[in-house]
Amino acid sequence: MGNAKPETGAFFPRDRSLHPKAFTPDYKTSVVRSPQKALLSLNNTISEITGPVFGHEILGERDNDLILNFAKPGESALGERIIVHGRVLDERGRGVSGALLEFWQANAGGRYRHAKEGYIAPLDPNFGGCGRTITDDDGTYSLRTVKPGPYPWPNGVNDWRPSHIHFSVFGHGFAQRLITQMYFEGDPLIPLCPIARTITDQAALDQLIAPLDMANTIPMDARAFKFDIVLRGRRSTLFENRMEGN
């Protein structure tokens, strides 16, 4: 713990023009999910801001290792082994410590371990598809997993989702949860995806694409991708549950 006083001033304003429109007919579910009336801004209540909170003791030893955390002893998940790492940053580029990150994804074949999954790709008996970690003092995090496969979805006749990993960023207050997703550099499905196409600003979309990071690749083991998550401000990462700004 440091001696710095907590910041209490207003946040930097955010450029909301970077956000995709809530109503985007090419992305079918936005038709029923988009607001029908003008948005209202409501202040958080004391109970939302102060609790309940998560505890560091809830993390298991392998929670950030999706290759092993669901696998049988002596076995591991199938697929391209990768490391995803980065930092959670505030609007000034300073690391946010103690943030809980949750992540979930499809397996290497593009299938989720979900009761209502409709894709015919096989399940991997050694892959659960979810994990979590807490950021270090400088906002650093890392996870080990297999690269998720693309999958078809019933949005259009032949729509496919690019390979992606979902991220949930959970702060110390109950209402401080933000959700986004990470794509992979060079994926040809990104510009074809109806969800990705709702982001009309290329620079904003690029914030969701993790570049290959050969400097942190482990030889003969796993490639690495770097994905920073920026909270608030003009350069904020796009969050699915805060389209109006965060």
Q: Residue 143 has what pLDDT? A: 98
Distance between CA 93 and CA 230 in Å, rounded?
8
Q: Residue 33 has what pLDDT? A: 83
Distance between CA 106 and CA 123 in Å, rounded?
9
Q: Is 113 a catalytic residue?
A: no
Condensed to tens digits (0 to 9), the pLDDT of residues 68-105 reads: 999 999 999 999 999 999 999 988 889 999 899 999 99
pLDDT at residue 165 greater than cutoff 80: yes
Condensed to tens digits (0 to 9), the pLDDT of residues 23-34 reads: 888 888 888 888
Distance between CA 228 and CA 182 in Å, rounded?
10
Distance between CA 26 and CA 197 in Å, rounded?
9
pLDDT at residue 246 greater than cutoff 60: no
Q: What are the strands of the beta sheet with 130-134, ordered from one edge?
A: 130-134, 100-105, 164-170, 177-184, 209-210
* Catalytic pick among 166, 177, 197, 223: 166
Q: Is 172 a catalytic residue?
A: no
**Residue 130 amino acid letter:** C
Q: Is 151 a catalytic residue?
A: yes
Q: Is 56 a catalytic residue?
A: no
- The domains found in the chain, sorted by start residue, are 56-223 (2.60.130.10)
Distance between CA 3 and CA 195 in Å, rounded?
43
pTM value is: 0.85
* Catalytic pick among 19, 111, 132, 164: 164
What pLDDT band is residue 162 in, cutting at 50, 70 and 90? Answer: very high
* Catalytic pick among 112, 141, 144, 235: 112
Distance between CA 82 and CA 217 in Å, rounded?
8
Q: Is 112 a catalytic residue?
A: yes
* Catalytic pick among 27, 141, 151, 183: 151
* Catalytic pick among 111, 132, 144, 161: 161
What are the C-alpha distances in Å from 29 to residues 8, 26, 162, 239? 38, 9, 17, 17
Determine contact, residues 132/166, Cβ cutoff 8 Å: no
